[in-house]
Structure 1
Amino acid sequence: MMLRAALLGLVLAGPALAQDNPATAARNASAQLEEATLQLQGAQTARDRVKALTETVRAFEAGLGAMRDGLRRAARREGELTQALKAREGEVAELLGVLQTIETSAPPVLMLHPSGPLGSARSAMILAEVTPGLNARARVLRNDLQEVQTLRLLQQNAAQTLETGLAGVQQARSDLSKAIADRTDLPRRFTHDPVRTAILISSTETLDGFASGLSEISDGEIAESNASVMSQKGSLPLPVQGVVLRRFGQADAAGVKRDGVVVAARPRALVSSPTAATIRYRGPLLDLGNVMILEPQSDTLFVLSGLSEVYGEPGQVIPAGTPIGLMGGQIPEIGAILSLSGEASGTDRSETLYIEVREGNRPVDPETWFRTKNNG
C-alpha cells in the first residue's frame, strides 16, 4: 500500500504551484481586521479623535483589501490544483488498474522476473532507489491537499470576518465624519462667504473661470501664505488608494481629453489631503459633482472631483493626511466579495476620482506632483 500511495503521489503532484501562501495571507488579513476593531474601540476615547479614527478607517480598508486579495489567491490556487487533477484523471485510472493487478497477484509470482534471480535483484535495487523519491512526491501532494482543505475552510469562515470588518469600517467612517464636523481647532486663512460663492458659481461655465475667481468667495482679505511644497513635488501620495485609469491629456472612450488624471478607487474609500493645504472650495461645482479645491502653496491648486461626501470648511488650513471626503458607490455584498476569484481585474474599483493640478491657473500634468506607481 505504501508503494501504491507513493506512485499515486508521483502522478498527481505535478508542477509546483505558486510560492506565496494564500492561507497565510488570509490569516494576516483577518488579524488586520481584528486589530482595526480594537483601534476603533480605542479611538472613541482618543484625545485627537480625528487622527485616531482616520488611522482606524485606513486600517479597516487595508484589512479588507488584504482579505479580498487573500480570498482571490486562495480561489486561484484551489482552481489550479483542481484543474491539474482533472487533466490527470486518465493517467491515474490506468495506474490504479496496474497497481490493483499487482496487489492481487500471488506473492510467488511477484518474486519472479523473466531474467531470473539476477533480474529480480536488479529490479529490487531500482525499486529501493526510486521509492524514497516517490514518497517525497507523495508528501508534497499530501501537503498540497491539506492546504486546499485549509483554504476552503478559510473561505467558508471568511463571511463572518468580512461582515465584522464591513460593519466596523462603516461605524468608523460615521464617527470620523462627526468628529471632523465637531472640530474647532484648525487655523483659518479666510472666512467663507456663501453668497459670493453662489454668485461666482452661477456666473462661470468652466473650471478655469471658477478657479480664477476663487479670491472673490471670501468675506474680507485672504491671509498671505509662505507655505511651499516644492520639495515634495513628484513624491506626493495620491489622495485615494487606487490605480490610474487615464492620464493627463489621454482621450476617454468618447474621445474627450481632460487636463487631469482619473484614478479608480473602491467604493466609500477615504480621500485625504496629500499635503498641508488650505481648503479654497468644497461642494458641488458645474458638472463635476462634489469638488474639493486645495491650495498647498501660492498659485498652486489641487482640484479633486468625484467625491460623494466632502469634509472641512473653506478657509481652513489642514495638515497632510487630513480626511477630506469619501468616494461614492455601494459597498459590495459579502457574497460579491467572496466571489472575487481569478486574476485581479480591477472591477472592485468602481469609483473614479478626477485630479487636476493648476499652477498659475493653468493645468499641468498631475504626475509631475503625485507618485502614481504601485498605489493599488
Structure 2
Amino acid sequence: MIRAALLSLCLMGLAPLAAAQTTDPAALAEAAAIRLDQAGQALARAEKARDRVKALSETLRAYEDGLEAMREGLRRVSLREAQLTAELQSREAEVAQLLGVLQSIAATPDPVLALHPDGPTGTARSGMLLADVTPALTDRASALREKLEEVAMLRALQENAVDTLSRGLDGVQQARSNLSQAISDRTNLPRRFTEDPVKTAILIASTETLAGFASGLSEIAEGEAPGSLPDMSHRKGKLPLPVQGTILRRAGEADAAGIKRPGLIMATRPRALVTTPTAATIRYLGPLLDYGNVVILEPQADLLFVLAGLDVVYGEAGQVLPSGSPIGLMGGQDAQIGTIVSQASEGGRTAASETLYIEVRENNAPVDPVAWFATGKDN
C-alpha cells in the first residue's frame, strides 16, 4: 500500500508554484515601514532645523513616499497571499495525500518497512524505489512548508501594516500642520513687488479667460524691482513636476465633455504637497475663474507656470521662492486605514482622486508643459 502510494506521487508530481513577482512583496512592505519610521524621525528633527519650511517640506514628501510605498507593498502582499492560498486550496487533495504518505512512513517500524511479501528480491526493489522517491517527497514537503510559512508571514505583515499606516497617517497630518505654521512664521523671503489688492480685484472681475488674466498680471504689481530674471532655457525638459502623481491627460487631449486645454492634468492623492519646480516669483495666488485656487509662478521673464486646482495655497504675490518650496496642498481627505486595507486586499489601489492642472505660457502663449517638465516614460 505504501509502495503504491509512493509510486503514485512520484509519477504524478506537484507542479511548481508560479514565480514570485520581480519585487518581493514582503521586502517592499518592510522597506516602506522603514521609510515611514525615518520620516517620523525627520519630523522630530525638523522642529529644530534652521530652515523649518524646507525641512518640513522634505519630511512631508518623505511621508508621501512612504505611504505610497506602503500602499503598494500592502497591495502586493495581499495579491501574493491570495495567489498562494488559491494554489494550496486547489491542491488540497495532493497535499493531503503527500501528508498521508509521510505519516505512514513515519508510523511504520523500520523492520516492517524493510520486509516485502515477494521475498529478498522484492525487498531490494522496494528499498531502491523508496530510496529514489524519498528525496522527492522530502523536497515537496519542504516546498509546502515554505509556502505555508510565507502565507503566515504575509498575514503577519498585513496585521503590522495597520499600525504602521496609522502612525504614518498621523505623522503626515502633523507635518502638514507644522508646515502651515512654519510658513506663517516665515519672514525672510525676498520680494520683487507688492500686490495692489484693488487692481487685482479689478483684473479678476474683468477677466474671462486665463490668457486675459495672465496678460494683465503686470498691472497688479507695485514697486517691482528692476532687472531681468535668470535664463532657464538650459533646464528645459528637466524640471521636476510640482506634485507627486500621474499624468491623466496631456495637452490638447479632450476630456469627457470634449473640452481641450493647452495644459496637462495630473491625478494626485488627496492632500498631496505642491511645490515650486524651480526658483520663481509668485505672480498670483488665489481663486480664479472656474479653476479653483490658482498659483502663477514666474521663473524667468516672459515665462509663467500656472498651477490650478489646489485646495490650500501658501505664500503671497511678489515673494521669490527657492526651488522646492511649498505653495499649497491638494484637496480631498486622506483615505481611512480600513479603506486602504480593504482595497489592498482586493488587489486595488487607493484612488488618486484629486487633479492638478499645469499650464506653461511663454510670451503669453501656451506651450506644451512636456517641453519643460521631466514627465517620465511611464506617465
Query: Fold-level match, TM-score > 0.5?
Result: yes
Q: State the aligned residue count.
A: 372
Which range moves more in the overlay, 295-304 or 125-134?
125-134
**Where does residue 41 of structure 1 map in the other structure?**
44
How many Å separate the matches in 2 of 1:303 and 1:358? Answer: 8
SS in 1 for 2:222: coil
The aligned runs of 1:275-294 (5 Å cut-off) are 275-294=278-297
Note the residue ranges of structure 2 that are not aligned, 5 or more in a row. none
Aligned-pair CA distance for 1:142 = 1.6
Aligned-pair CA distance for 1:293 = 0.6
SS in 2 for 1:340: helix
Whichever residue aligns with residue 63 of structure 2, its letter is F
% identical equivalent positions: 60
The aligned runs of 1:290-309 (5 Å cut-off) are 290-309=293-312
How many Å separate the matches in 1 of 2:346 and 2:208? Answer: 43
Contact 1:190 1:218 in 2 (8 A): yes
Whichever residue aligns with residue 116 of structure 2, its letter is L
| Distance change >3 Å, CA 18–CA 205, structure 1 → 2 | same
How many Å separate the matches in 1 of 2:77 and 2:182? Answer: 38
Contact 1:240 1:272 in 2 (8 A): yes
Whichever residue aligns with residue 28 of structure 1, its letter is A
The aligned runs of 1:260-339 (5 Å cut-off) are 260-339=263-342
How many Å separate the matches in 1 of 2:143 and 2:106? Answer: 25
**Where does residue 116 of structure 2 map in the other structure?**
112
SS in 2 for 1:339: helix
1:245-266: per-residue Cα shift (whole Å, max 9, x none)? Answer: 1111011111111111111111
Aligned-pair CA distance for 1:122 = 3.9
**Where does residue 258 of structure 1 map in the other structure?**
261
Which range moves more in the overlay, 357-366 or 286-295?
357-366
Whichever residue aligns with residue 75 of structure 2, its letter is R
How many Å separate the matches in 2 of 1:315 and 1:234? Answer: 26
- Name which of 31, 51, 55 aligns with 2:34: 31
| Distance change >3 Å, CA 91–CA 145, structure 1 → 2 | closer
SS in 2 for 1:128: helix
| Distance change >3 Å, CA 263–CA 346, structure 1 → 2 | farther
How many Å separate the matches in 2 of 1:193 and 1:165? Answer: 42
How many Å separate the matches in 2 of 1:201 and 1:67? Answer: 43
Contact 1:241 1:375 in 2 (8 A): no
| Distance change >3 Å, CA 122–CA 229, structure 1 → 2 | farther
1:217-271: per-residue Cα shift (whole Å, max 9, x none)? Answer: 1123453323122111111111001110111101111111111111111111111
Which range moves more in the overlay, 183-192 or 99-108?
99-108
SS in 2 for 1:236: coil
- Name which of 82, 96, 103 aligns with 1:79: 82
SS in 1 for 2:165: helix
Contact 2:340 2:350 in 1 (8 A): no
SS in 2 for 1:371: coil
How many Å separate the matches in 2 of 1:262 and 1:286? Answer: 17
2:54 is equivalent to residue 51 of structure 1: yes
Contact 2:116 2:123 in 1 (8 A): yes
SS in 2 for 1:78: helix
How many Å separate the matches in 1 of 2:97 and 2:143? Answer: 22
SS in 2 for 1:353: strand
Contact 2:116 2:126 in 1 (8 A): no
Contact 1:12 1:141 in 2 (8 A): no
Contact 1:238 1:372 in 2 (8 A): yes
2:70 is equivalent to residue 67 of structure 1: yes
Whichever residue aligns with residue 26 of structure 2, its letter is A
Aligned-pair CA distance for 1:342 = 6.3
Note the residue ranges of structure 1 that are not aligned, 5 or more in a row. none
SS in 1 for 2:311: strand
How many Å separate the matches in 2 of 1:276 and 1:47? Answer: 20
TM-score normalised by L of structure 1: 0.90
SS in 1 for 2:30: helix
| Distance change >3 Å, CA 228–CA 113, structure 1 → 2 | farther
Aligned-pair CA distance for 1:274 = 0.6
**Where does residue 161 of structure 2 map in the other structure?**
158
Contact 2:280 2:323 in 1 (8 A): yes
Q: What is the RMSD of the two structures over their aligned residues, measured on CA atoms?
A: 2.8
Contact 1:190 1:223 in 2 (8 A): no
Which range moves more in the overlay, 178-187 or 291-300?
178-187
Contact 1:71 1:340 in 2 (8 A): no
Whichever residue aligns with residue 177 of structure 2, its letter is S
1:291-314: per-residue Cα shift (whole Å, max 9, x none)? Answer: 011111111111111111111111
How many Å separate the matches in 2 of 1:346 and 1:196? Answer: 46
Aligned-pair CA distance for 1:369 = 1.1
**Where does residue 193 of structure 2 map in the other structure?**
190
Moved beyond 4 Å, runs of 4+: 93-110, 116-120, 342-347
The aligned runs of 1:160-175 (5 Å cut-off) are 160-175=163-178
- Name which of 354, 364, 368 aligns with 2:367: 364
TM-score normalised by L of structure 2: 0.89
Contact 1:71 1:155 in 2 (8 A): yes
SS in 2 for 1:370: coil
Which range moves more in the overlay, 88-97 or 57-66?
88-97
| Distance change >3 Å, CA 79–CA 217, structure 1 → 2 | same
Contact 1:13 1:141 in 2 (8 A): no
| Distance change >3 Å, CA 102–CA 182, structure 1 → 2 | closer
Aligned-pair CA distance for 1:139 = 2.1
